[in-house]
Structure 1
């Protein structure tokens, strides 16, 4: 399976370059305003069907410079290249990189991490909204969209001043960094390797290769290391049983926890807890 960073042909390039006049008429896209007038705040709109956003983009274009992408991959690339002040992105996008994956990749890359991402979605259940916010979105706007509401939310989240832009992150590291964030946030309920890889836009084999290359550890070894790290304050500062700690940090059995803990520290969890209680 190809990494999403290896894809060359981007659907949105056809959309923007072949249909520039249509885009200008539809939503006020102004390339000169976006590139040539940095004082005007700039919005990147990522939507599979931009025509469906005509009322929203029409209103936004009277106040901001807009540019567009029609899939998650090109949205990530445009954000890295253009560094807009805000990204307005649909959660449902064509291809393997949906809005949630694209948001995670933007937040994992230092040069785009500070850009607010506002997600738009037909998925309106509380769990859907939570998933969007956990992916790093600054806001989650449920459809049907009301243009004045979208404008108000955009104004709330637009930065007051430009921040220094860090050095660009190696594209491979964006996948690794996004996966690390998911692992740390979901230690107790971590999905399978294929599902974890899907959530950061690569295949499971590719994710394992990237972890070995950039961390020196296998994916499973990295997960085990993070679980051991998370267990230490629970053992030291709480009265939770060792079995309870094991399940809290995601080990399937207390035996697996003890084996991994001994390999990492040279002692059992019980012995480590007693040692810490004595001040060692």
Structure 2
């Protein structure tokens, strides 16, 4: 769904429209639910674009590069949390403020919305005037009028699979101690198990589970080298059931036990310290 207000405007390098007004993108599969808010927003001196599902919203966000995104949570095929994860990995939208506007208003849902990258979480029961006020606050904090000419970004725009890969890698790193199932991982980045497995094979040459195992062991190395935590504590923090499983996997990958690795690392550090004037 689209109100057509962005059509016919000049497009500058990188896909953003050359306009002195902020551009707001609203993504909601039932726009009738926020009709009063849309009417109020259109009364401002802003450009307003609409998307009627998460996939359309994702494509329009990358193409139009709006200054602020208002995003619903419960949508078919891909929910707002999954979409937010993808937008946070794409260079074109990485810094764009995302405000959740949703009837999904439990404390768990609000926390997840802020955790995945939303800057605000607004219940649909809020008066349109409050939604407008919150949008104005975030625009005041972030929006700057674009220059007449704008150079294209030096960072190449990643392909769709690369953004999914970045999003799930970040998710894995953040939840090493309790990683969701493959199906849940795929759902959280808006895809399915088969595609996610293919992406890992093609881009990393690994299965998802092999990547998770490597990520846990890499983090385990860091914790052993940088902290005085016990091997058992390190094992639990990186998601191994017990220290024995961690030690076995660590030895297979590194060629020594966690205790030997720590001793060797500390020995190298002590030698370097002793050699300093």
Q: Note whether the superposition's TM-score is higher than 0.5.
A: yes
For 2:259, which of 251, 265, 270 is the aligned residue? 270
Rounded Cα–Cα distance in structure 1 between residues aligned with 2:8 and 2:35: 19
For 2:58, which of 70, 76, 85 is the aligned residue? 76
- Residues 185-233 of structure 1, C-alpha deviations (whole Å, 9 max, x = no match): 1111110111101111111121111011112222112111111121123
In the other structure, the counterpart of 1:20 is none
For 2:5, which of 30, 43, 61 is the aligned residue? 30
In structure 2, the residue corresponding to 1:131 is in which secondary structure? helix
In the other structure, the counterpart of 1:213 is 202
Backbone CA RMSD of aligned residues? 2.0
In structure 2, the residue corresponding to 1:278 is in which secondary structure? helix
Matches within 5 A, 1:1-280: 15-16=1-2, 30-32=5-7, 38-63=19-44, 64-94=46-76, 96-158=77-139, 159-161=142-144, 162=146, 165=153, 166-279=155-268
Give aligned pairs, total.
254
Q: Any unmatched runs of 5+ in structure 1?
A: 1-14, 17-22, 24-28
Rounded Cα–Cα distance in structure 2 between residues aligned with 1:67 and 1:99: 17
In structure 1, the residue corresponding to 2:252 is in which secondary structure? helix
Rounded Cα–Cα distance in structure 2 between residues aligned with 1:274 and 1:264: 17
Rounded Cα–Cα distance in structure 2 between residues aligned with 1:153 and 1:222: 40
Compared CA separation, residues 34 and 188, structure 1 to 2 (3 A) = farther
- Residues 13-63 of structure 1, C-alpha deviations (whole Å, 9 max, x = no match): xx43xxxxxx5xxxxx63359767611111111111112212211111122
Runs of 4+ residues over 3 Å off in structure 1: 31-37, 162-166
Query: Are the counterparts in 2 of residues 227 and 249 from structure 1 also a CA contact under 8 Å?
Result: yes
In structure 2, the residue corresponding to 1:279 is in which secondary structure? helix
Rounded Cα–Cα distance in structure 1 between residues aligned with 2:113 and 2:160: 22
Query: Are the counterparts in 2 of residues 34 and 65 from structure 1 also a CA contact under 8 Å?
Result: no
Query: Are the counterparts in 1 of residues 34 and 124 from structure 2 also a CA contact under 8 Å?
Result: no
Rounded Cα–Cα distance in structure 2 between residues aligned with 1:263 and 1:37: 56
Q: Any unmatched runs of 5+ in structure 2?
A: 11-16, 270-277
Rounded Cα–Cα distance in structure 1 between residues aligned with 2:42 and 2:175: 39
Compared CA separation, residues 32 and 200, structure 1 to 2 (3 A) = closer
